Chains A and B, each alone.
Chain A
Amino acid sequence: MLIERIGGKIPGSGIHSIERNGTCMEHYYQPEIECASQEQIRAWQGERLAKTVKRVYENVEFYRKKMDEVGVKPEDIHSVEDLHKLPFLTKDDLRDAYPYGLLAAPLSDCVRIQSTSGTTGRRVVAFYTQHDLDLWEDCCARAIVAAGGTNEDVVHVCYGYGLFTGGPGLNGGSHKVGSLTLPMSSGNTERQIQFMCDLGSTILCCTPSYAAYLAESIWERGLQDKIKLKAGIFGAEAWTEEMRHDIEEKLGITAFDIYGLTEISGPGVSFECSEQTGMHINEDHFIAEVINPKTGEVLPDGEKGELVFTSITKEAFPLIRYRTRDICILSHKKCSCGRTHVKMTKPLGRSDDMLIVKGVNVFPSQIETVLLNQGYPANYQIIVDRQNNSDTIEVQVEMTQEMFSDNAGIVAKREKTLVDALKAMLGIYVKVKLVNPKSIARSEGKAVRVIDRRNLYQG
């Protein structure tokens, strides 16, 4: 494959354009990094891993303890080959460390937090120094440029803003690219479409289910010829190839996948390129491994396993061998886009019971906690479905003598109290359906608590 270098930098932006195979133009935000050689990538990783391990050993008691337990010292870590010596980090560890237990930089150097749900209501708080923010935003910028974004574009960000990383991440990335950024946040479809038409949005960033919903809304209003969208960057939840084609057709765009998690910065940990066959992980910032979730054994390319990340450039909240619970496959096969960083498939499932509903992480254990706190027995079932391209979630709870009253209004009020408590815990509206006692199937061993009718994972 021949790459002919023409054009060089687009004036006024940080974007380099390269014509490939005489046909399409590939854009890179940081080509010297994104197309670096394998040797160079390994060298960066080795050096940065050693620095990070030293940093956390010296500054974070938690890591020091964990490393001492397995008899590993920072001096033992020189390259990626030494990574396996280090212990894993789990979501439970993060929950136990709330809020400052994993902070590796002085609080006075931290300029931001982002947060995500933890199990049983204890949230994960990720800290960022200005340096951390810059690097995170660089990663998002790479994603936007890979989707064809330049400083001439109008980037329409309708991921949620606030503690959630979706909005801030793509917002920051868009600034770096120099595009006009529309910080729409989620919801208010009427306004989304109005701005999209009036301000000529060209790149749409939101969850795939919202993209599908927007597409329908646009068609309903007959505005499909008024919009100027050319690409979309969709993530924060699982989506199928079928959904991709549906969105691409309805909006007339190319739809790119993006992946990330708050613990490892946010979106932009990996992003899809023009080949659309998987996402390039930003290996200069994150070392990726795939492991057997039961044994912890590191698996080779091509094998399905749990994705593990080590952040090697973060100052405030670097994580060593963090188990994401996402199942995927890694591949170092050459990519026609010219980027050399390892590719991951879309997540193929979870190794835990977490659900993503309307872009929000939901753990069944959180629902159980709310039920128990409200005085209900833990006889429940969660039904997740998708209607009109929108996720729905319903919790069926068995009625009890204590909850019952002859007054329908009182029962309805108790139902509402439960709905409100669930909303406070999860951040989303969960429908509560009271059912007859003993109508939820009991099973021997582990009860089937979740019925997910969406069929999101393929392969």
Chain B
Amino acid sequence: MTVKQISVFVENKAGKLAELTEYLHEQEIDMRALSIAETQDFGIVRIIVDDAYKTSCILKEAGYVASITPVLAVEMPDEPGSLFKILKILGDGNVNLEYMYAFLTRKEDTAYMVLRVEDNEKAADILSKSGIHTICQDAVANL
């Protein structure tokens, strides 16, 4: 039902983000989605990867501070109005949304959004009742 998002602490300093992505590339980690929350001094890089467990390990080895957060990856037709429909459903269902970002896939006609909500179970339940599909971790690799 949920997908593992990895959040990594990165100093807000030139080159630090490049350093991280270079390292992930060296370790052959395939990134599917990426978003950055920033403050003046630091950033939190959020990524969805094909192998979350491997990514956690290699980050720890290199001394990065990272954590795993379960998030929802929602599937929707790639057409205008799709996102609005989902947000309306969540709003009506009183689901608090913290942030979201888009998801890269090889599929045509289908778009994916990562949603971080307060209550994953409640949100997934409400969405599925309206016929909206959330994908699970294993499916990420095939997208």
Contact = CB atoms under 8 A, between A and B. Distances in A.
Nearest to A403: B65
A29 B56 CA distance: 73
Contacts of A455: none
Contacts of A406: 5, 7, 44, 46, 67, 69, 116
26 contacts: A399-B42, A401-B67, A404-B7, A404-B9, A404-B65, A404-B66, A404-B67, A406-B5, A406-B7, A406-B69, A408-B38, A408-B39, A408-B44, A411-B9, A411-B42, A411-B44, A433-B41, A434-B9, A434-B11, A434-B41, A436-B9, A436-B11, A436-B63, A436-B64, A436-B65, A439-B11
B128 to A, nearest CB: 24
A446 interface: no
B141 interface: no
Contacts of A191: none
Interface in B50-72: 63-67, 69
Which residue, B10, B44, B116, has most C-beta atoms of chain A within 10 A? Answer: B44
Contacts of A433: 41
Interface in A396-425: 399-401, 403-408, 411-412, 415
A435 B38 CA distance: 14
Contacts of A399: 9, 42, 65
A400 B41 CA distance: 15
Interface in B107-137: 116
B98 interface: yes
The 3 closest A-B pairs by CB, nearest first: A406-B7, A408-B37, A406-B69
A407 B44 CA distance: 8
Contacts of B5: 406
Interface of A: 399-401, 403-408, 411-412, 415, 433-439
B16 interface: yes
Contacts of A439: 11
A400 B7 contact: no
Nearest to A437: B63
Contacts of A403: 65
Nearest to A400: B65
Nearest to A412: B39
A381 B42 CA distance: 17
Contacts of A437: 63-65
Nearest to A415: B41
A263 to B, nearest CB: 38
A414 to B, nearest CB: 11
B57 to A, nearest CB: 14
A399 B64 CA distance: 9
Nearest to A407: B98
A5 to B, nearest CB: 64
Nearest to A435: B11
Contacts of B41: 415, 433-434
A405 B67 contact: yes
Which residue, B11, B39, B46, B65, has most C-beta atoms of chain A within 10 A? Answer: B65
Contacts of B65: 399-401, 403-404, 436-437
Interface in B7-31: 7, 9-11, 16
A416 to B, nearest CB: 11
A400 B67 CA distance: 11
A439 B11 CA distance: 10
A437 B66 CA distance: 11
